[in-house]
Amino acid sequence: MIKGVGMDLVELERIRELLSDRFIERILSEKEMKEYQNLAHEQVKLEFIGGRFAAKEAIFKAVAVGPGNTNYKDFSVLHEPSGKPYVESTFFTDKEHVCVSITHTDSYAAAFVVIESKE
C-alpha cells in the first residue's frame, strides 16, 4: 500500500547561489559527503547536490513533515552497484520501503519518492 508520494524540482542555478561548505554540510550525510568528495567536475558536483536536495525535499513531502521536524542528514540517498538510487534512514521502519528516482538536466534536478508499506 502506498503511504506517501513526494516530488520536488530545483533550479540548479539556485543551488549554485546557495553552494557553500555550510550548505553542503547541512544537506549531505556522511556517506553522501564521501561520494561527493570523489566527484571531479563542478557541474557533476552541482547536479549531485541538486539531486540530493530534491530527493530529500520529496521525502519530506511524502512523509508530510518539514525540515524543521527532521534533518536533511537523517536521510542518505545512495546508489546500488547498478546505479539505482535508494534511501537509507533510521526514520523508516522495516515495514516500509522507499522508492526514489532522481533526474537532472544542465538547469534542473528533480526527484520523485514513493513510500510503500510492506504489509
For the domain covering 2-117, report its CATH number: 3.90.470.20
pTM: 0.91
DSSP string, 34-55: HHHHT---HHHHHHHHHHHHHH
Query: DSSP assignment, residue 107?
Result: S
Identify the pLDDT of residue 118. 81
Residue 41 a catalytic site member: no
Residue 104 a catalytic site member: yes
Q: Which of 3, 31, 45, 61 is catalytic?
A: 61
What are the extents of the domains in the chain? 2-117
Identify the pLDDT of residue 67. 59
Who contacts 43 (Cβ-Cβ below 8 Å, separation ≥6)?
Answer: 106
Query: Quick check: helix, strand or coil at residue 1?
Result: coil
- pLDDT, one tens digit per residue, over 60-118 is 999 887 656 778 999 999 999 998 999 999 888 888 899 999 999 999 999 999 999 88
Identify the pLDDT of residue 90. 82
